[in-house]
Structure 1
């Protein structure tokens, strides 16, 4: 039984609990906060927008102060193991304000639908639709519900995507799809960054435990089973394990620059490095960089450093 007396169906503590009545309790989340016409710390303006009514996709967009010229745009996918956090949370908003200010970019954080209520691949589909909506603004006649900030301030020759943890996983899959299908109006992604990407697989690599039963109980495995129970291949689905044999080539990533960031004590550090090496050896023609931060560990889904 949960603390409220309802019968628990499954839980991954201390992160999420599912009840037999279908309700979901997210146990570690940052509070939702409103956008601001001028952030006190950075001066960045933000507002919430509707990307799509059907399916329901929204976003929070950020504009640095004193703009009189076109800026790059960053389409960002937040972390949270596909089942937690929000583009509208305090942590995400504080981070995006600082990022938009320091990088001097228009930034848009996508509010994609969360599992388990909306299991994968829904989050991937939402984020792809959101990116296509953004780049559609490069031709004002091709988007019906256009946003004036995107239409007015964005340089569509400088489109970037990025994400942390599960958001970095989404970014990788978005890049692969962009490489194979292309974006609206022929827009190309100039660069991308993957911060502590949530990748995993059944075969241990690097310092990962080789104990099969223990691996099955690790949050990286159990969370994937929760958010994508129908995934072909389970934790070796290419969406989670992009280097799995037979999973396809990373040589088709649809961007010209890629930054992969890992942390020394992160649970999935070796996966990020393996991904970097696989891209390097894939024949991909872009500019590739790896950043390995010493001593910067985290726990999955910990606020400010999310899976």
Structure 2
């Protein structure tokens, strides 16, 4: 018998997302193709480009700028959205087709600048380090509010960013990241003394050991949200009940510490994560959080519908709702 090719020997797998081979190779089984940036989207006129926030280890971002009317005086200032893509911490990208299409649509509707952080993925990178990457991305954006603050200045931000209107947001695991970034923003200063105007979380990825609401009562520990977390972060203190994943577990830091002025949480009727999102919203309200809290619940829709099927009517309704939230006067 010939020798066995170790690259074909599977050590572990997390279906339907990825497979790890015994030689250390990681094969991603899901996700959409990468698409290049475009200086003028043919449909919307939105410009996009990719930039480097840090060289080593590498953190990049894709910036989206709406089509602007010619001005003869000072450049137009726009709200800034720092965005974290979804994908279970382990797939998808700021450069993915679905995320690019979604943000192009949102940027057009809301007339904002969006900075989508290309954070490193698990399992090559630990989940807490992913949070650190995204915090660093936010700090880099905020550094443009200070003269000479950005190590590598991005002119779209410097010329058109309104640093009195900065938001963070994410979908699914990206919404989980946004929550954890918000908790850190409530503890740690942001460059330039920036205060986050608000945040929105769409279909946030939260879970816990005990079922709530309509979650399955039997085999709850075998549901995909639990399997993903345990696979990617097996050393998490308190496991699935880590406050990073279960923010209203007993002993978790108070949600009153969220570092933003307004919060919008969007859920979908058919999404397994729906009841967690609604409970999160109610827990924030009950915590003593000083800002505004809103919930949006879409009937008949499933997880991340506004990204996966972004051209359907309900997706456009949600995108318009998110745009209105971003444009609301404080």
TM-score class, shorter-chain normalisation, is: over 0.9
Counterpart of 1:121 in 2: which secondary structure? helix
> Structure 2 length as normaliser, TM-score?
0.88
Report the equivalent of 2:233: 228
Give 1:209 deviation, angstroms: 1.5
**Contact 1:28–1:303 (CA<8 Å) still a contact in 2?**
no
Give 1:303 deviation, angstroms: 4.7
Give 1:299 deviation, angstroms: 8.3
Counterpart of 1:126 in 2: which secondary structure? helix
Q: Which runs of 4+ in 1 moved over 3 A?
A: 302-305
Report the equivalent of 1:118: 125
**Contact 2:11–2:22 (CA<8 Å) still a contact in 1?**
yes
Report the equivalent of 1:262: 267
Counterpart of 2:127 in 1: which secondary structure? coil
Report the equivalent of 1:279: 284
- Structure 1 residue 134 and structure 2 residue 136: aligned? no
Give 1:26 deviation, angstroms: 1.2
Give 1:228 deviation, angstroms: 1.3
Let me know the Cα RMSD of the aligned residues: 1.6
Report the equivalent of 1:186: 193
CA distance in 2, matches of 1:239, 1:298: 20
Counterpart of 2:134 in 1: which secondary structure? helix
Report the equivalent of 1:246: 251
Give 1:12 deviation, angstroms: 2.2
Could you say if the C-alpha distance between residues 72 and 299 of structure 1 is closer, same or farther in structure 2, counting changes exceeding 3 Å? closer
**Contact 2:263–2:293 (CA<8 Å) still a contact in 1?**
yes
Report the equivalent of 1:14: 16
Counterpart of 2:8 in 1: which secondary structure? coil
Give 1:22 deviation, angstroms: 1.1
Unmatched 5+ residue regions in structure 2?
1-5, 70-74, 311-330
